Amino acid sequence: MLDISHSRDFMKANPAVFRHKLNLESILYHNAGKDNKFCFNWSKYSDMSRDEVEVSVG
């Protein structure tokens, strides 16, 4: 589980991961389900080999 509830700080600390400067907060809250979790296609945003990552916005 990748906790990025402070997503702006996370992006600043990990520029290689979020090098496309995503509006990550909008993505998180737009896609958040009732449990405040969702999965997105990690390969779209980085060169990491993982297909998906579960993100908590709570």
pLDDT digits (tens, 9 = 90+) for 34-58: 555 555 555 555 554 444 445 555 4
What rounded mean pLDDT belongs to the chain? Answer: 52
Instruction: Kindly tell me if the per-residue pLDDT of 9 is higher than 60.
Output: yes
**Residues sharing a CB contact under 8 Å with residue 19, sequence separation 6 or more, in sequence order:** 46
Rg (CA), the chain: 11
* Distance, CA of 17 to CA of 39 (rounded, Å): 16
* Distance, CA of 58 to CA of 54 (rounded, Å): 12
The pLDDT, as a whole number, for residue 29 is 47
pLDDT band at residue 30, thresholds of 50, 70 and 90? very low
Instruction: Kindly tell me if the per-residue pLDDT of 24 is higher than 60.
Output: no
The pLDDT, as a whole number, for residue 13 is 65
